[in-house]
Chain A
């Protein structure tokens, strides 16, 4: 135990008195985050300004007239509602339904931002309390078109509400009209969603990256330079040396991840801007203490597993260079598991996936962020990961005892 502490103290001194290491472990990672997302934030901000200044072109087919619901009860022209919502808009009215096809083509060619079509008998349908239909055509590849569409969804919502107020006598028909939206162009993933999905992946990558550098340096590097052999002639047990190294590398890995996180927190408001949310609520939902406990414990066992993997590979390698090329596949595996999970939308409640090494860590992290992690699945993740780690530690101890491995140059 005393020997383990001595090793840990030395490893800490090694890192914390080395400006280069401090820089690459604790300064550069958060800095890159701030830089990348900062730039993304700036461009997002410019985008928002441009969108606000943009004057959209909207065609309305069969724009509803003033609808009367008996004395003093009427709903104004739809067109007026639109004009009231915009300071500037190019609004074109069209009553020839034969022109619709031509107009949708114009949406596709980005000549028109939005085409909105009310069915022929819209006003009559409303009065007769049958449900009419409204169709909107916009271009998903065009940000202006997309934003015009979002805005019109709100306008239509308000319009629907005012119609509903006048039709409250028929509670069976709470839906005033059906809206169909037709997207033109390629459907792409919504950016905002991606960014909240990216968080678990970032955590895993930083945990891995933080442990990788020190891990390879501390094992393969010491082997390469012949400094680990100097330790092996002292009475320290090989297991104590192995555990001391594992703990030190884990501490450094966690601290480095924490540093990256501080960078992330610093950039959170910009983050929200990118995801198109004004209050950042999507990124700082109110997590309870249990969520934090789950998050931290998962990170803790994850870093231990990653470190033991890195230590095994580094101990097997003859040089840092070789360790680097051997660690790469593991790194890619981890990133791959994270990516796979990022796009996998269904949250699995079955416990089986939570027993798969590495995969279960990403799965649990994601579930924690979306409040979907069951206590049992959390425990299964923790316990199985600890078991995998213990098996690996056992292997490491064997390796540290093997002269073929420790003196393999």
Chain B
């Protein structure tokens, strides 16, 4: 189980960024009081437009950055991500397009390397490797340097490597970004498989169909704030619509009216 409590994260903007964002404010609140819970055997989807704060929220959860305030707690022992980051990292798998694998190495080498960093013994690494490499068809290119792999092969390798330690909590930022239908399907199928194994899964996406098909519960985030949380059915009921896209636009309009175009 994962509990996100009131995460707020503010970025300081450089001069260039201020121009780019067309603002005079030197601070940008990328996530504001974000709270949600994800259970075991559940896929939670953070759905929102570009710049909504999805990646920022996921980075805070996975300890890559520290929130200004708020915290994230793992499991029944309530391990604090803010105060016990080294320990917390052992529970996570974090996958985002910003995290790259070194071009010079092969999937096989990288899998072993990261396995060691997670403190696994060789036998465990081999066991997990066999399972993941078979699942994603990596064996065919296990000894080819990453620099020579296609985008899809790279993504498969990244997923396998990020799961080397068989983590309890899986956080994927835009898991199907840049992938063709076939590869995207492999990934979503695997996420469902992991859920059925009992894992706690969070994904972020801006693709409505992906959220409605894959996620057990969805949180819509706009301008750094979670605007609605619930299962697809609950969200449709609350917004009185019959598809997620419609629901999203209703919520988006409401937000923009409330804020008066500010932010």
* A interface residues (Cβ-Cβ under 8 A, vs B): 2-3, 6, 10, 13-14, 17-18, 222, 225-227, 229-237, 403, 407
Contacts and interface: CB of A to CB of B under 8 A. Distances in A.
A233 B94 contact: yes
Contact of A6 (B86, B87, B104, B117): B117
A356 to B, nearest CB: 37
B99 A230 contact: yes
A235 B100 contact: no
Given A6-B113, A13-B105, A232-B64, 10 more contacts: A13-B109, A225-B100, A230-B101, A233-B63, A233-B94, A233-B99, A234-B114, A235-B119, A403-B65, A403-B66
B190 interface: no
Nearest to B117: A234
A26 B113 CA distance: 26
B113 A10 contact: yes
A230 B64 CA distance: 10
B249 interface: no
Contacts of A17: 104
A225 B114 CA distance: 18
Contacts of B62: 233
B92 interface: yes
B61 to A, nearest CB: 11
B102 A237 contact: no
20 contacts: A2-B116, A6-B113, A6-B116, A14-B102, A225-B103, A227-B102, A229-B99, A229-B100, A230-B99, A230-B101, A231-B117, A233-B63, A233-B64, A233-B94, A235-B86, A235-B87, A235-B119, A403-B65, A403-B66, A407-B64
B89 interface: yes
B98 interface: yes
B100 A230 contact: yes
Q: Which of A6, A13, A230 has the most CB of B within 10 A?
A: A230
Contacts of A234: 89, 114, 117-118
A233 B90 CA distance: 9
A340 B24 CA distance: 50
Q: Shortest 9 CB-CB distances between A and B: which pairs? A: A226-B100, A230-B99, A235-B89, A234-B117, A403-B65, A6-B116, A233-B94, A227-B102, A235-B90
Contacts of A233: 62-64, 89, 92, 94, 99
B241 to A, nearest CB: 37
A227 B99 CA distance: 6
A226 B117 contact: no
A222 B63 contact: no
Contacts of B98: 226, 229
Interface in B54-68: 62-66
A45 B138 CA distance: 62
A3 B100 CA distance: 20
B40 to A, nearest CB: 21
A10 B109 CA distance: 9
Nearest to B85: A235
Interface string B182-209: 0000000000000000000000000000
A2 B118 CA distance: 11
Contacts of B113: 6, 10
Contacts of A226: 98-100
Contacts of B117: 3, 6, 231, 234-236
A401 to B, nearest CB: 10
B167 to A, nearest CB: 11
A2 B120 CA distance: 11
Nearest to B66: A403
A230 B119 CA distance: 16
Nearest to A221: B102
A226 to B, nearest CB: 4
A226 B97 CA distance: 9
Contacts of B92: 233
Nearest to A238: B86
A18 B98 CA distance: 25
Contacts of B64: 229, 232-233, 403, 407
Q: Which of B102, B105, B113 has the most CB of A within 10 A?
A: B102
Contacts of B87: 235
B48 to A, nearest CB: 20
Contacts of A10: 105, 113
Contacts of A403: 64-66
B173 to A, nearest CB: 12
A14 B113 CA distance: 12
Q: Which of A14, A225, A232 has the most CB of B within 10 A?
A: A232
A70 to B, nearest CB: 89
A230 B63 CA distance: 12
Q: Which of A18, A234, A237, A407 has the most CB of B within 10 A?
A: A234
A235 B99 contact: no
B142 to A, nearest CB: 16
B37 to A, nearest CB: 22
Contacts of B119: 2, 235
A403 to B, nearest CB: 4
Nearest to A236: B117
Contacts of B118: 234-235
A222 B90 contact: no
Nearest to A224: B100
A232 B114 CA distance: 11
B17 to A, nearest CB: 12
Nearest to A10: B113
Nearest to A404: B12
